[in-house]
Chains A and B, each alone.
Chain A
């Protein structure tokens, strides 16, 4: 097995180990929150999922910017992998958040700044993924999606600072102005959640990068085979 493959499967193993540890800590060590009860335990995965969304979006931004500087299949695959991961974690945030909001706010959704900006950001990355999946894989599509990947990142700081600038219902617990987590086991549970989701996001970016690179290699091989008459042209 190659060193790179070993590192890949090692990272997946570490992610699994962290996941089990986090679940144990969240459900068996961290105490219940005074007002919200068990629903607050969603926090230990909801917030780290949001940070993983940022990570995926940042990877997409880096890959896209690098692709615009010099177009290579590797950079394009990196950007696509970031967008895929941003969409996956974005869906996690947008489903776990409303499920948490229902018992606490009384409604699943309210049109307030952080929720709006998060939804907008996820929709940008959904647009990126849909574009690449259905429109095609030509040079024009790649450049257009790279531009979308760069511009889409502009919304990330707006999500982060929306609560501070515009208020709203969304709690501000661990960022500036927040009171934090009162119990040490709550802090450990959240730290483990961040570590787990960071490893999970990196693993998923890596998985997706391998997939998109394999796709690019396959397209190149098919073109070569077709030019040699080894592939039957589809009608």
Chain B
């Protein structure tokens, strides 16, 4: 499983980048002042707001995490459906027995 952490690896550089931005703002715009609209990049620690597709990446990078996530999702769906199916069948059988017994006035069979 590939456990490379592209964004996590950048975390150490985020602080220095933040300081650099802060210093730039201090020099050019004064302490606490925001730069004019359109003249600066968003802060580097801002979470991504766009997913850009590329076709030349190693397709197996982080693939193990994808497989794990999909396995969990479909295991939950399958478990939900199978459990529901079995319980529904058991309930319908029991209900049919009791309704039959009510109609005939006899004791229902024990399940």
Contacts and interface: CB of A to CB of B under 8 A. Distances in A.
B69 A30 contact: no
A183 B50 CA distance: 10
B48 A173 contact: yes
Given A45-B73, A96-B72, A231 B108 contact: yes
B41 to A, nearest CB: 13
A38 B66 contact: yes
Contact of B98 (A39, A42, A169, A218): A218
Given A218-B94, A230-B105, A103 B55 contact: no
Interface in B35-67: 47-55, 57-63, 65-66
Interface residues of B, number: 51
Contacts of B6: 35-36, 103-104
A17 B11 CA distance: 42
Nearest to B57: A32
A221 B63 CA distance: 52
A41 to B, nearest CB: 5
B54 A39 contact: no
Secondary structure dominating the interface of A: helix
Nearest to A94: B72
Contacts of B55: 31-32
B91 A103 contact: no
Contacts of A170: 47
A180 B98 contact: no
B27 interface: no
Contacts of B77: 88, 200
A185 B55 CA distance: 12
A35 B88 contact: no
A156 to B, nearest CB: 21
A34 B101 contact: no
B50 A180 contact: yes
Contacts of B95: 214, 217-218, 221
Interface of B: 2-9, 11, 47-55, 57-63, 65-66, 68-70, 72-73, 76-77, 80-81, 84, 87-88, 91-92, 94-95, 98-99, 101-102, 105-108
Given A38-B59, A104-B7, A218-B98, 14 more contacts: A33-B53, A34-B52, A35-B48, A39-B62, A95-B69, A96-B69, A171-B49, A172-B47, A204-B84, A207-B81, A211-B88, A218-B95, A230-B106, A230-B107
